[in-house]
Amino acid sequence: MTRTPITDRPESELLARRGAESIAGGVVSLNRRTDPPISFVRARGSRLWDADGNEYVDYHAAFAPHILGHNDPEVNAAVRAAAEEGPSLMGAGTTPWEIELSERLRACVPSLERVQIANTGSEATAHAVRLSRAFTGREDVVLTLGGYNGWHNDVARQVMPGLDTVGPRASPGEYPFLPASAGIPKSAQRLVHVVNFNDSASVEWVLERHPVACVMTEPVLQNVGVIPPRPGYLRALREICDRHGALLVFDEVKTGFRSALGGYQSRCGVTPDLSVFGKAVANGYPLGVIGGRADVMARFDDPDPGRRVLIAGTYNAHPVPTAAAIATIDRLGRDDGAVYRELEAKGARLQKGLETIFSERGLTVVVSRLGSAFCAYFMDHQPVDWHDVASHHDFDLDRRYRRALVERGIFHFPLACKQGSISAAHSDADLALTLDLTREALKSL
Ligand SMILES: Cc1ncc(COP(=O)(O)O)c(C=O)c1O
């Protein structure tokens, strides 16, 4: 693979300077900013190319949607057909393709008695919160520390706060809502209760004290690496929500369609009241899903306008992303889910290879993995929550590790603890190359 030094990428720098003249902050969606700046101009399968002609094996996957790889030929063929031969966005009545997608979603995830379709994960979580409030007549919401559920007022707290700001582990108890954005009203912040992941006692503690509409959590924390639920934790949430009359909402934007066709809920055996999906469901095209209990979802069409919940969007179920989602789901379900077996095997191979390389170097590292999602924690045990990561993970080493990998052509997002994602397009040769380059990268640290 051709390489230029990471600090000498003139085309990327030129684009960064040009972007800064027109785009507020220089980059669209500011969490994409990297230091030093890298602009990618081409992607195919498991590979990316930057503006200076450097090639990378990609494990960022654009924050995880590309489960089949970039520009998957089958998904793109469906997209082309939708764009060129299919009907345009009509904006009136239902369409055969939104029905087809909804039927597939329900067939994959049994808890989706009814669904609605939006454009992004954030839209889906916003709908889930509002729907929960309308259904329960309550306003408070419980979220997990270290989780991310989108950018809107009800959920936009800091994902990786310093322990100096968030304070020591509070159990049972809650943390202050540390907004990730200016402009979130105090009144909105007061309704949100942030608790530890893997800490059902804190959820119970909050539900005993506040009128909670919903407990929303990623079933596996995948915005601070990969932190699995402890045995019994999700079941305990189900039981606590039932006892206190709150809805349980699984944010499966990251786990859904990546960990299994039926979402993580099909692996853990816990059925939420509502679920939201995004990312892998459409292999890189913009689509968000909210679905769940028919009686709750019926509020979107309640005959009483005072009880009805608004869901609207000019582009919801646009034919292009809808076609992408249908093609993605069909591919993921083919041969009885063969893709997931392949991804599991690739994930296991990569994990074992990384563990061997880290131990050769005498480094204490835990490679946490759920199927195709993985993260190397520079600490001596599998973390259980954000406090565990924040107090034990070697962030500086992680940053240097990621940079050394990027320099050699392995693209992990250069931010500590960001999850890596393997796609169906990653070949055995890609994995072998990744391990060789990782060995080299570690020698340089
Ligand atoms: C778990 C989770 N929920 C919600 C979202 C928001 O999705 P989107 O970026 O599509 O709005 C994300 C995005 O990273 C996510 O990881």
Tell me, which fold does domain 73-330 have in CATH?
Aspartate Aminotransferase; domain 2 (3.40.640)
Going by alpha carbons, the residue nearest to atom 9 of ligand 1 is 121
Nearest-atom number in ligand 1 for the CA of 278 is 10
CA 250 – CA 128 distance, rounded (Å): 10
- Asked if the domains at 10-71+337-444 and 73-330 fall in one CATH topology, the answer is no
In sequence order, the β-bridge partners of residue 167 are: none
Residue from 217, 259, 279 to probe ligand 1 pocket by mutation (most atoms less than 8 Å from CB): 279
For strands 274-277 and 247-251, give the pairing.
parallel
The per-residue pLDDT for 226 is 98
d(CA 223, ligand 1 centre) in Å: 9
Q: What is the pLDDT of residue 118?
A: 98
DSSP structure string for 30-80: GGG--SS---EEEEEBTEEEETTS-EEEESSTTTTT-SS-BT-HHHHHHHH
14, burial (CB in 10 Å: exposed 0-12, middle 13-18, buried 19+): middle
The kind and range of the H/E element at 29 are: none
Asked, as a colleague might, if the bond just before 272 is cis with ω within 30 of 0, I would say no
Distance 48 CA to ligand 1 centre (A): 22
Owner of token pair 């119970």:
204
Nearest protein CA to atom 4 of ligand 1, as residue: 149
Q: Quick one: 313 exposed, middle or buried, by C-beta within 10 A (0-12, 13-18, 19+)?
A: middle
Whole-number CA gyration radius for the chain: 22
Phi and psi for 118 in degrees, rounded to 5? -130, -165
- Contacts (Cβ under 8 Å, ≥6 apart) of 149: 121, 122, 125, 143, 155, 216, 218, 251, 253
Cβ-in-10-Å burial (0-12, 13-18, 19+) of 227 comes to buried
Kindly give the distance from the C-alpha atom of residue 438 to the centroid of ligand 1, in angstroms, as a whole number. 29
Closest among 325, 332, 316, 276 to 95, alpha carbons compared = 316
Q: Mean pLDDT over all residues of the chain?
A: 97
Residues of the chain with pLDDT below 70 are 1-2
Backbone angles phi, psi at 193, to 5 degrees: -115, 120
How many angstroms is it from 357 CA to the middle of ligand 1?
32
pLDDT at 310: 98
Beta-bridge partners for 260: 256
H/E stretch holding 366: strand 366-370
pTM score, whole prediction:
0.98
C-alpha 443 – ligand 1 centre gap (Å): 35
Give the per-residue pLDDT at 4. 83
CA distances from 345 to 69, 108, 197, 215, 370 (A): 16, 22, 28, 33, 11
Q: Ligand 1 pocket: which of 155, 253, 413 to mutate (most atoms <8 Å of CB)?
A: 253
CA atoms within 13 A on the CB side of 310: 2
Contact 420, 46 (CB under 8 A): no
Nearest CA to ligand 1 atom 7: 121
Substitution candidate for ligand 1 out of 30, 119, 122, 418 with most atoms within 8 A of CB:
122
C-alpha of residue 276 to centroid of ligand 1, in Å: 10
DSSP states of 110-143: TT-SEEEEESSHHHHHHHHHHHHHHHHT--EEEE
The SS3 assignment for 248 reads strand
- For 35-74, b/e burial (b = at least 16 CB within 10 A) is eebbbbeebebbbbbbbbebebbbbbbbbbbbbbbbbbee
* Domain definitions of the chain by residue range: 10-71+337-444, 73-330
Looking at residue 27, its pLDDT comes to: 97
Q: How far apart are CA 157 and CA 181, in angstroms?
A: 8
Atom of ligand 1 nearest to the CA of 147: 1
How far CA 406 is from CA of 30, 370, 413, in Å, comes to 20, 23, 9
Cβ atoms of 263 and 257 within 8 Å: the answer is yes
Peptide bond connecting 172 to the previous residue in cis, omega within 30 degrees of 0: yes
What pLDDT, on a 0 to 100 scale, did the predictor assign at position 2?
A: 63
Residue 13 Cα, ligand 1 centroid: separation in angstroms? 28
193 with 217: CB under 8 angstroms? no
Nearest CA to 208 among 234, 248, 241?
Answer: 241
Which residue has the least CA distance to atom 3 on ligand 1?
A: 149
Ligand 1 first shell, C-beta below 6 A = 63, 120-122, 125, 148-150, 218, 223, 251, 253-254, 278
C-alpha 236 – ligand 1 centre gap (Å): 24
pLDDT at 1: 64
- Span 242-269, pLDDT tens digits: 999 999 999 999 999 999 999 999 999 9
What is the rounded CA–CA span in Å between residue 196 and residue 194? 7
Q: What is the pLDDT of residue 87?
A: 80
pLDDT at residue 428 in the model: 98
- Domain covering 10-71+337-444, topology: Aspartate Aminotransferase, domain 1 (3.90.1150)
Distance CA 419, CA 222 (A): 7
